[in-house]
Each structure stands twice: as structure tokens, then as C-alpha cells.
């Protein structure tokens, strides 16, 4: 179905001082519209324009020092492209569970005036698709006063909540730019060791949640002999494709959305984006569905695999900051840790290397001052490093300390053991968590 396109420069003229602008995220970050908006800001045509988004990719300028007072960055999750600006205070972060990002928009807590999105070309019935990122953008399209769409033939026609009618769009801009892609990279020995320890916990028929990076890819690489795995996750990447091609991932045993791979956003190679194009096996859904604890728990054997920056000896997990230095965000970790915890046969897992690249222990007596606790002690179940896997659920503080120290790097176990002894007293030496 045809539409009338205007230039990006013309479209962004609707933005005015004090507006909040929502950006679609990750691979479909609408850079053509962002650049036109930034140029208006550079010309001081408006002030105090709030920029709302989850995780956007590639270089953007609106959080640079020159735009202080012109743009106000409000991120639901901090990506690498805005990390330095956030740590310097030129960009900011809204602490929120990924499941509730859409709620902030729908309930008007963070009212959206203008939604700037990227979508597919309309089909013959006039429907477009958000493609690789639905997340909170579907809510923004529903609630925004004005919707500007960069219509791009490279955006795959994904199913699920990604589909909506072009009548919801106010202004169309043509964009032929390629989508942002991310290579898997080579697995390290550390990734492989952690992946093996996690994979040993996963049963046939499990429903997987995992993200992007070395550890998730290493886990997936170990699952070739499993049967009837399902996927209900906030995101997946290329590592899942060989399991789909082999028939290992088929979703047959899922209680909800059986036979479908459910996700809210994707990031990976062009092969991944081609895979979801017009594929009824994949349902790209709103985060109020993918990340709802009440939805997640309905599937059996939900296996949620998440990572972290640090953990203390009682099981407090920091995943969004290094001390007071902000790094990323809460994201969907707690949504899935809790959902998996309620799932029949579920496995909530925090998996991470025991040490940094410089050999510093990521397992500490206490978290650095100012660290954000994302997964609390009460939420913890399985903790996995390259040195093993331990289940903390139902364990006392001292038992947890023993278990966590047992999978720490051997070079740091004596230090951690002494810290636990100093904290808990002489009884600690008699604690046996395996009884």
C-alpha cells in the first residue's frame, strides 16, 4: 500500500521545546531521524527535549556536551555508545524493570509526545512491522501524540505485536540504510567452561531465556543433543539458529505460545534478521508479555540465564554499575529470575566469570560502595562460574558464603574465606552446606 513520504528534516519540525521523544531501539535505531533532530538542536530551534529509549546502537550525538540544555537523555538501559556520556552526567538513566518500561509510557508517567521509529514497508493490506525491536516501542506508537516512521525495506516483517496498521503513523520518511549488525565473536576458554557448567543443568523440554554474548553462545553450543527446547526470552541472537535448524529448539513442550520462539528484541547478523522475516515460528512481542512474571511462570522448566558484574559472598548481585559508576541497567534480569523461580521445574541462573580480565575477583566480601543490587539475596538460586555451579536457594547466609567461595577462583578463595570468617565468626569453619 502506498504512502506519501517527506524528508526527515521536514518530519522532525513537529518536535518542540519540552517534548519527550521515544526512539525505537537496537538494530532499528532510526538514525536518519535522529540526525535531523540533532541538527535542529544544534541550531537551537528548541530546548529541553527529552530523549527516551531502551538500548540504541551506533554513534549518536544528542548526549554530547554541546547539547546540554537542548537534549535530556532518559535511558531505560545504557548501551556502550552512551556509557561515557552517562558516567559524565550528560546522559541519564531511569531505573526500571524492562517489563515496566511500557507501563511508564502507557500510564503517562513518561508521556511520549513524539515517537520516532523504524519499520518495514507497508504490505498490500497497509500493515507495517517493527521488525527486530518491539520492546516498549509498541506502547510508544499507541500513546504518542505524533508518530514519525522511517520506512525501511531492510526491516524484516516480523509477526506478533510487531505488526500494526500504517494509519497509526503520522509522517513517513524513506530510509534504505542497512540494519545494525553484531558479530558473535570467538568463544574464549572462560566462556566455554562456564557454558559447559550451565548446560549440565538444562533438561530436555526446558524453555530458555538468554541474551547475547560469549556465555549465552557457549551454553547454546553445548545443547545440540537436547530435545524439545523452547524459547521465551526478551532477546535472542545468532547462537540459537543452529539449534533451530537441527530441530532441537521447536517449542513443542511450551505451555504458552507452543511452537513459537517469543522475544521482544533481537541483535545479531543479517542471517538472524532474515530468519525472522515473515517467519510464523517467531513472535516478536511487547515487553508486557515477554517479561511479565505472570506470563513467564506459565511455562515449565523456564531456564533463565543472566550475567552480572559482581556478587558478594551472601549472594547479592550487582549487574548495572561498578560502584557508583553506572554501566548498563536493570533490564529484564529480575523479570526472568523471578519468573523462572515461580516456573514448575524452573532454573534461575546467574552465570559469570569468577575474575575480571585483569585477574581481580568478581566475587567479593562486600559489593563496592554505591553498587546497585539488581538480583537480591532472596532472588538467588543457581550461581555458576568456570569453576562450577552451586544452588543457593534455601541456604543460610553462612552456607551461601561457603558455596559461593567454592566456585571462586582458587587464587582468591583464601581471602574470601577469611572475610567470611571475620564476618560470621568462628562457627563459619563448621558450616557444611551439603548436609
What amino acid positions are annotated as catalytic residues?
234
Q: Which residues of 257-387 form beta strands (DSSP E)?
A: 261-263, 265-266, 282-284, 302-306, 310-312, 317-318, 321-322, 325-326, 347-351, 363-364, 373-375, 382-385
Q: Which three three-digit cell numbers place residue 365?
A: 566480601
Q: Which three three-digit cell numbers place residue 115?
A: 515517537
Residues 6 or more apart whose Cβ sits within 8 Å of residue 201: 303, 347, 349, 382, 384, 389
Burial per residue of 134-172, b for 16 or more beta-carbon CB atoms within 10 angstroms, e otherwise: bbbbbbbbbbbebbbbbbbebbbbbbbbbbbebeebebb
CA dihedral 29, 33, 38, 41 (to 10 degrees): -130
Query: How many residues are there in the chain?
Result: 435
Q: How far apart are CA 61 and CA 77, in angstroms?
A: 17
Q: How far apart are CA 333 and CA 362, in angstroms?
A: 18
Cα distances from 11 to residues 48, 127, 146, in angstroms, run 19, 21, 10
Amino acid at each position: 500500500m502506498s504512502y506519501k513520504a517527506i524528508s526527515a528534516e521536514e518530519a522532525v519540525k513537529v518536535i518542540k521545546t519540552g517534548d519527550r521523544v521515544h526512539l525505537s531501539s537496537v538494530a532499528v535505531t532510526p538514525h536518519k531521524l535522529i540526525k535531523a533532530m540533532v541538527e535542529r538542536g544544534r541550531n537551537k530551534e528548541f530546548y529541553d527535549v527529552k530523549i527516551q529509549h531502551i538500548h540504541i546502537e551506533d554513534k549518536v550525538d544528542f548526549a554530547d556536551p554541546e547539547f546540554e540544555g537542548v537534549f535530556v537523555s532518559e535511558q531505560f538501559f545504557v548501551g556502550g555508545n552512551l556509557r561515557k556520556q552517562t558516567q559524565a552526567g550528560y546522559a541519564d538513566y531511569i531505573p526500571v524493570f524492562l517489563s515496566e518500561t511500557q507501563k511508564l509510557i502507557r500510564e503517562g508517567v513518561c508521556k511520549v509526545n513524539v515517537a520516532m521509529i523504524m519499520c518495514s514497508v507497508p504490505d498490500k493490506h497497509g500493515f507495517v512491522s517493527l521488525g527486530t525491536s518491539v520492546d516498549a516501542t509498541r506502547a510508544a506508537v499507541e500513546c504518542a501524540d505524533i508518530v514519525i516512521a522511517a520506512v525501511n525495506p531492510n526491516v524484516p516483517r516480523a509477526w506478533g505485536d510487531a505488526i500494526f496498521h500504517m494509519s497509526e503513523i503520522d509522517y513517513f520518511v524513506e530510509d534504505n540504510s542497512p540494519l545494525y549488525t553484531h558479530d558473535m565473536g570467538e568463544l574464549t576458554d572462560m566462556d566455554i567452561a562456564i557454558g559447559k557448567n550451565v548446560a549440565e543443568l538444562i533438561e530436555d523440554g526446558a524453555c530458555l531465556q538468554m541474551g547475547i554474548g560469549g556465555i549465552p553462545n557457549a551454553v547454546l553450543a553445548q545443547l545440540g543433543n537436547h530435545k524439545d527446547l523452547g524459547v521465551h526470552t526478551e532477546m535472542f541472537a545468532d547462537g540459537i539458529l543452529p539449534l533451530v535448524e537441527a530441530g532441537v529448539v521447536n517449542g513443542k513442550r511450551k505451555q504458552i505460545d507452543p511452537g513459537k520462539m517469543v522475544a521482544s528484541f533481537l541483535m545479531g547478523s543479517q542471517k538472524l534478521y532474515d530468519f525472522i522475516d515473515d517467519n510464523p515460528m517467531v513472535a516478536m512481542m511487547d515487553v508486557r508479555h515477554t517479561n511479565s512474571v505472570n506470563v513467564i511462570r506459565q511455562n515449565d522448566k523456564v531456564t533463565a540465564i543472566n550475567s552480572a558484574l559482581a556478587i558478594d559472598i551472601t549472594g547479592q548481585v550487582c549487574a548495572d554499575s561498578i560502584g557508583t559508576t553506572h554501566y548498563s541497567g536493570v533490564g529484564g534480569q529480575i523479570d526472568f529470575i523471578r519468573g523462572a523461580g515461580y516456573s514448575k521445574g524452573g532454573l534461575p541462573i546467574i552465570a559469570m566469570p569468577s575474575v575480571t580480565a585483569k585477574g581481580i575477583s568478581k566475587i567479593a566480601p562486600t559489593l563496592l560502595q554505591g553498587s546497585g543490587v539488581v538480583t537480591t539475596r532472596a532472588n538467588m538460586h543457581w550461581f555458576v562460574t568456570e569453576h562450577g555451579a552451586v544452588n543457593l536457594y534455601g541456604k543460610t547466609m553462612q552456607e551461601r558464603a561457603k558455596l559461593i567461595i567454592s566456585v571462586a577462583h582458587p587464587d582468591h578463595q583464601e581471602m574470601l574465606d577469611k572475610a567470611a570468617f571475620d564476618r560470621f565468626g568462628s562457627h563459619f569453619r563448621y558450616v557444611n552446606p551439603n548436609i
